[in-house]
Chain A
Amino acid sequence: MTTEHTHDTHDHAGAHASDHHDDHDHKPTGFMNRWLFTTNHKDIGTLYLVFSLIMFLIGGSMAMVIRAELFMPGLQLVEPDFFNQMTTMHALIMVFGAVMPAWVGFANWMIPLMVGAPDMALPRMNNWSFWILPFAFTMLLSTLFMDSGGPAAGWTLYPPLSLQTGQSFAFVVFAVHMMGVSSIMGSINVIATILNMRAPGMTLLRMPLFVWTWLITAFLLIAVMPVLAGAVTMLLTDHFFGTSFFNAAGGGDPVMFQHIFWFFGHPEVYIMILPAFGVVSEILPTFSRKPLFGYAAMVYATASIAFLSFIVWAHHMFSVGMPLSGELFFMYATMLIAVPTGVKVFNWVSTMWKGSMTFETPMLFAIGFVVLFTIGGLSGLMLAIASVDLQYHDTYFVVAHFHYVLVPGAVFALMAGTYYWLPKWTGNMYSEKWGKIHFWLSAISVNILFFPQHYLGLAGMPRRIPDYSTQFADFNMLSSIGGFIFGASQLIFVGVIIHCVYRSKVKATSRVWEGAKGLEWTVPSPAPYHTFDVPPPINAQTVAHADEYDH
């Protein structure tokens, strides 16, 4: 490791290498060449990000249908079956269409920039991983227009209910297969890039945390997406070819599906949150003007969370009638996850402690993340207590828990990251004023939206119901109002992005943020089409955070 310090003596900064490259920064000409056939990690990253934003709007619109129907007791807008389709599609689209592709988009844009690579390791496959998605979601969304309607058995697709799905069933299964293929290829690419494309001197423990979290996320994805594919394949054969995996009459068990699904499903929720941890760990040091606290501990905590995520799945199934020993095991294992996650939270707070903080929009979203994610994590811990979960399970308490970790958790981190790197992507500064308005409206309304759902759940309101008893009326109305405000606020986000890309007159500098460290800030803004054709020097100035460079 010490020999690599010789690179420090090179006195040309990475930016020079790319400046020089600017002259022949030939982007392919023509729409098809630029976007359909591209092998450029930045273009593919952009495609992913735009796609996921569109999916977020579609999935969010479905959430608005849900909240509108739940505005008052009684059915006003939609039939129960359509309501269930909305719940199911909302979740499938948000999880597989919005959050996951958004993270892959970030990975594409940032990982090569952060490790000093010219592109992803397998650029052509990279194109394919993206271009499967629009087809997969066309297939999924098309089911809403079929006679039987879309899938309505929840995003968890539990049999036997999911086997009652009509025509749309096979389309949903195949759409899931396509998403799986896309995710697996995307993750293989991320792993190969990180392990094989780092600039000389960028050792593993000098990598930015975002890169670390994605490395671990990619491993989780490759491990569990095939399992989901297998699970839905078994659904398919049970439906069409007479197998009895999930049918007791033939010796199978409906609950077996739940075990397989959650073996995928629980790591899946960490797939959505680990990159968020990474982004927040990049942003907090920048705006605190202080190195990340406990870099190595953050890496080990992430790895521990990932490891534990494989042995806790049945905490989603405390009520299915497992043997006692199983319930105890899964309860203890689940509770343990609080420890590494706590390390992360404490390290974030310590990073801010005695910093010299400023509060630009990315920082606001990152702080919002830390607070609200922690609230969601703590309610998760409550859910882990198996005997009490027999009360919480399948109520709005669970809905509140997971939206706290997903919306002001994963989605806030996505927004924080977007504001943070948007100037790097576009070369323009976004409107700080509107960014802040977006943050405050979102942060306040998201609490009005999801906090009352804790009360609803505790008071006994089951989830996945289109209509409810009148005692739940007030909090539902409050929640819906919060939901509409939150939804409307996201239009500001869209506006800020469009303004930044097409209208903003303020050019971004290459470092953009005063306290920013790391390779991505050594290249100009916007990042040239090709960067790091020559490996950049790796030294204390270009490494974002690494224990060995700290004093």
Chain B
Amino acid sequence: MKKSNIVIVTLAVTAAVAAAFWLLLVAPAFTGNEINLTRGVTDFAQKNYELHMVVLWICVVIGILVFSAMFVSIFLHRKSRGYEAAQFTHSTKAEIVWTIIPVLILVIMAVPATRALIHMEVAPETEMTIKITGFQWRWRYEYLEDGVDFISSLQADSNAARRLASGVDPETVDNYLLDVDKRVVIPVDTKIKFLITADDVIHAWWVPALGWKRDAVPGFINEAWTEVKEPGVYRGQCAELCGKDHGFMPIVVEAVSKEDYAAWVQSQQDQLAVEKREAERLWSLQELMDHGQEVYATQCATCHQADGEGLAPAFPALAGSTVTTGPIEAHIKVVLDGVNGTAMPAWGGMLSETDIAAALTYTRNAFGNETGDLVQPRTIVRIKNG
């Protein structure tokens, strides 16, 4: 083969490879495989999916046209084939054509794009409201009408497996990094408004199946809405860099029938009542330590580390800290109110009195702190009530 033919062949091959790649991207659309955008389970997600496919196809066609013209030229108009160069330098007609046609294509794309956006941004009358607050690195959900309020964090198995050199094979963990301890349960066929904000830095709440993501900006509340049509479990992740554990604050939405939802709300409220009652009784040190260890592992360990040594210089050690071994009042205050301007959140509004008391007791006695102090849940109740 002539040298130049080798070039031709190689060029053709790469062109083919590139084309194959593009087809690969398009083909799964027919098989429903997950290398393309999800079709989702809401109206908006499906509209978006269709829009995505339309634009993708337009781009593929434009790409194929442009590249074909180019490769034909590369094949034919080469010196090695003895081709003499023409000397034309412009063609006003051609230039007008390839200015106008793209404009028309853009207009064709802009129409459905505008419609979809309006559909998203102009929210209909909604039937219920969930306030979502992003924290480093967990989500808090408050059901404004139903009085449910909880924090949702990375599920414990994933959390253990994800440690550097943990020795656990992620393949062995169900839904590695996409599972949480408490799911957001929502009813299907219900228009739900989300009020999204953050407490520390910017996060973004994103469940692909719902078809959108929305930033959670501290100090501001963003609105979004959805109406899920099919029951199921839909997973997502935080989608705005929010610090070291940005990759570890998943979201799990469980859409259930309206009846199941009502039952779930009831069970949550019962549980709340039990917790209230429990907070009033006297707890033993052992009980508090056991419960505290759990709370510490799910809530505190991301920052202060499982061994209480913290992560210098950002996160202070609780082992041997002057706060955890010093006066109780100051310690309680730090945990209830957080430390303004740092990552330390105000836990008072987020955890139950029992959880806080347990975490306090645990941190005053674990990691060699050995103060022997015991913080009763009712003490916290009293402080919170002023």
When the two chains form their complex, are residues A470 and B314 in contact, meaning their CB atoms are under 8 A apart? no
Minimum CB distance partner of B201 in chain A: A161
Cβ of A412 to closest chain B Cβ, rounded Å? 14
At the interface, yes or no: A495 with Cβ under 8 Å from chain B?
Answer: no
Q: A161-B242, A328-B117, A342-B98 are in contact. Are A248 and B62 (CB under 8 A)?
A: no
Cβ of A292 to closest chain B Cβ, rounded Å? 7
At the interface, yes or no: B1 with Cβ under 8 Å from chain A?
Answer: no
Encode contact with A along B160-189: 1 for CB under 8 Å, 0 otherwise: 011111101111000111100000000000
Minimum CB distance partner of A459 in chain B: B34
Contacting A at CB under 8 A, from B299-317, are 311-314
When the two chains form their complex, are residues A254 and B202 in contact, meaning their CB atoms are under 8 A apart? yes
Indicate which residue in B85, B162, B246, B248 contacts A289 across the interface (CB closer than 8 Å). Answer: B85
Cβ of B298 to closest chain A Cβ, rounded Å? 18
User: Once the chains are docked, how many angstroms separate the CA of A328 from the CA of B116?
Assistant: 11
Cβ of B223 to closest chain A Cβ, rounded Å? 8
When the two chains form their complex, are residues A75 and B175 in contact, meaning their CB atoms are under 8 A apart? no
Minimum CB distance partner of B53 in chain A: A388
When the two chains form their complex, are residues A356 and B51 in contact, meaning their CB atoms are under 8 A apart? no
When the two chains form their complex, are residues B90 and A160 in contact, meaning their CB atoms are under 8 A apart? no
When the two chains form their complex, are residues A79 and B244 in contact, meaning their CB atoms are under 8 A apart? yes
When the two chains form their complex, are residues A328 and B114 in contact, meaning their CB atoms are under 8 A apart? yes
When the two chains form their complex, are residues B77 and A357 in contact, meaning their CB atoms are under 8 A apart? yes
Q: A381-B55, A458-B36 are in contact. Are A152 and B244 (CB under 8 A)?
A: yes
When the two chains form their complex, are residues B85 and A455 in contact, meaning their CB atoms are under 8 A apart? no
Minimum CB distance partner of B211 in chain A: A391
User: Once the chains are docked, how many angstroms separate the CA of A105 from the CA of B226?
Assistant: 52
Residues of B within 8 A of A77 (CB): 164
At the interface, yes or no: A394 with Cβ under 8 Å from chain B?
Answer: yes
Residues of A within 8 A of B342 (CB): 164
Residues of A within 8 A of B242 (CB): 161
At the interface with chain B, which of A210-218, A332-340, A419-427?
A332-340
At the interface, yes or no: A26 with Cβ under 8 Å from chain B?
Answer: no
User: Once the chains are docked, how many angstroms separate the CA of A345 from the CA of B65?
Assistant: 12
When the two chains form their complex, are residues A388 and B87 in contact, meaning their CB atoms are under 8 A apart? no
Indicate which residue in A166, A385, A460 contacts B314 across the interface (CB closer than 8 Å). Answer: A166
Residues of A within 8 A of B217 (CB): 248, 253-255, 320-321
User: Once the chains are docked, how many angstroms separate the CA of A468 from the CA of B247?
Assistant: 7
When the two chains form their complex, are residues B79 and A161 in contact, meaning their CB atoms are under 8 A apart? no
Indicate which residue in A154, A394, A470 contacts B171 across the interface (CB closer than 8 Å). Answer: A470
Q: A379-B59, A475-B35 are in contact. Are A465 and B95 (CB under 8 A)?
A: no
Q: A253-B220, A444-B14 are in contact. Are A161 and B89 (CB under 8 A)?
A: no
Q: A158-B202, A394-B240, A470-B171 are in contact. Are A321 and B220 (CB under 8 A)?
A: yes
Cβ of A91 to closest chain B Cβ, rounded Å? 12
User: Once the chains are docked, how many angstroms separate the CA of A381 from the CA of B87?
Assistant: 33
When the two chains form their complex, are residues A460 and B52 in contact, meaning their CB atoms are under 8 A apart? no
At the interface, yes or no: B386 with Cβ under 8 Å from chain A?
Answer: no
User: Once the chains are docked, how many angstroms separate the CA of A443 from the CA of B14?
Assistant: 9
Q: A345-B66, A349-B70 are in contact. Are A467 and B177 (CB under 8 A)?
A: yes
When the two chains form their complex, are residues B99 and A343 in contact, meaning their CB atoms are under 8 A apart? yes
Minimum CB distance partner of A358 in chain B: B79
At the interface with chain A, which of B17-25, B253-261, B326-334, B358-366?
B17-25
A-B contact count (CB 8 A): 320
A: number of interface residues (CB 8 Å): 106
Residues of B within 8 A of A391 (CB): 37, 48, 52, 208, 211-213
At the interface, yes or no: A390 with Cβ under 8 Å from chain B?
Answer: yes
At the interface, yes or no: B238 with Cβ under 8 Å from chain A?
Answer: yes
When the two chains form their complex, are residues B87 and A291 in contact, meaning their CB atoms are under 8 A apart? yes
At the interface, yes or no: A290 with Cβ under 8 Å from chain B?
Answer: yes
At the interface, yes or no: B263 with Cβ under 8 Å from chain A?
Answer: no
When the two chains form their complex, are residues B164 and A164 in contact, meaning their CB atoms are under 8 A apart? no
Q: A327-B121, A357-B77 are in contact. Are A74 and B38 (CB under 8 A)?
A: no
When the two chains form their complex, are residues B78 and A160 in contact, meaning their CB atoms are under 8 A apart? no
When the two chains form their complex, are residues A324 and B247 in contact, meaning their CB atoms are under 8 A apart? no
Residues of B within 8 A of A550 (CB): 87, 89-90
Indicate which residue in A382, A469, A547 contacts B178 across the interface (CB closer than 8 Å). Answer: A469
At the interface, yes or no: B232 with Cβ under 8 Å from chain A?
Answer: no
When the two chains form their complex, are residues B175 and A469 in contact, meaning their CB atoms are under 8 A apart? yes
Residues of A within 8 A of B211 (CB): 390-391
Minimum CB distance partner of A474 in chain B: B35
When the two chains form their complex, are residues A154 and B241 in contact, meaning their CB atoms are under 8 A apart? yes
Interface hub of A81, A332, A336, A354 (most chain B Cβ within 10 A): A354
At the interface, yes or no: A275 with Cβ under 8 Å from chain B?
Answer: no
Contacting B at CB under 8 A, from A38-91, are 73-81, 84
Contacting B at CB under 8 A, from A263-321, are 288-297, 319-321
At the interface, yes or no: A198 with Cβ under 8 Å from chain B?
Answer: no
Residues of B within 8 A of A73 (CB): 170-171, 176-177
When the two chains form their complex, are residues A356 and B244 in contact, meaning their CB atoms are under 8 A apart? no
At the interface, yes or no: A136 with Cβ under 8 Å from chain B?
Answer: no
When the two chains form their complex, are residues B77 and A355 in contact, meaning their CB atoms are under 8 A apart? yes
When the two chains form their complex, are residues A339 and B219 in contact, meaning their CB atoms are under 8 A apart? no
When the two chains form their complex, are residues A359 and B7 in contact, meaning their CB atoms are under 8 A apart? yes
Residues of B within 8 A of A166 (CB): 313-314
Minimum CB distance partner of A76 in chain B: B165
User: Once the chains are docked, how many angstroms separate the CA of A309 from the CA of B224?
Assistant: 29
At the interface, yes or no: B368 with Cβ under 8 Å from chain A?
Answer: no
At the interface with chain A, which of B102-110, B270-278, B374-382?
B102-110
Minimum CB distance partner of A546 in chain B: B89
When the two chains form their complex, are residues A336 and B25 in contact, meaning their CB atoms are under 8 A apart? no
Contacting A at CB under 8 A, from B303-356, are 311-314, 342-343
Minimum CB distance partner of A440 in chain B: B10
Contacting A at CB under 8 A, from B43-79, are 44, 47-48, 51-52, 55-56, 59, 62-63, 66-67, 69-70, 73-74, 77-79
At the interface, yes or no: A508 with Cβ under 8 Å from chain B?
Answer: no
At the interface, yes or no: B218 with Cβ under 8 Å from chain A?
Answer: yes
Cβ of A227 to closest chain B Cβ, rounded Å? 21
When the two chains form their complex, are residues B90 and A352 in contact, meaning their CB atoms are under 8 A apart? no
At the interface, yes or no: A232 with Cβ under 8 Å from chain B?
Answer: no
At the interface, yes or no: B282 with Cβ under 8 Å from chain A?
Answer: no
Cβ of A244 to closest chain B Cβ, rounded Å? 10
When the two chains form their complex, are residues B66 and A346 in contact, meaning their CB atoms are under 8 A apart? yes
When the two chains form their complex, are residues A387 and B163 in contact, meaning their CB atoms are under 8 A apart? no
Residues of A within 8 A of B52 (CB): 382, 385, 388, 391
When the two chains form their complex, are residues B85 and A288 in contact, meaning their CB atoms are under 8 A apart? yes
Residues of A within 8 A of B246 (CB): 80, 84, 462, 464-465
User: Once the chains are docked, how many angstroms separate the CA of A471 from the CA of B178?
Assistant: 10
When the two chains form their complex, are residues A148 and B79 in contact, meaning their CB atoms are under 8 A apart? no
At the interface, yes or no: A510 with Cβ under 8 Å from chain B?
Answer: no
Minimum CB distance partner of B47 in chain A: A387
Q: A166-B314, A390-B48 are in contact. Are A346 and B208 (CB under 8 A)?
A: no
Residues of chain A at the chain B interface (Cβ within 8 Å): 73-81, 84, 147-148, 152-154, 158, 160-161, 164, 166-167, 247-249, 253-255, 288-297, 319-321, 324, 327-328, 331-332, 335-336, 338-339, 342-343, 345-347, 349-350, 352-359, 367, 370-371, 374-375, 378-379, 381-382, 385-388, 390-391, 393-395, 440, 443-444, 447, 451, 454-455, 458-460, 462, 464-471, 475, 545, 547, 550-551
What 7 new A-B contacts, CB under 8 Å, besides A80-B246, A84-B244, A388-B113? A160-B200, A166-B314, A343-B98, A358-B78, A390-B48, A465-B246, A468-B247
The 8 nearest A-B residue pairs measured at CB: A248-B219, A465-B247, A321-B222, A550-B89, A356-B85, A387-B116, A354-B86, A455-B35
14 A–B pairs (Cβ distance < 8 Å), ordered by A: A74-B169, A76-B165, A164-B314, A255-B215, A321-B215, A338-B106, A342-B102, A352-B73, A358-B78, A385-B51, A387-B117, A391-B208, A391-B211, A393-B204
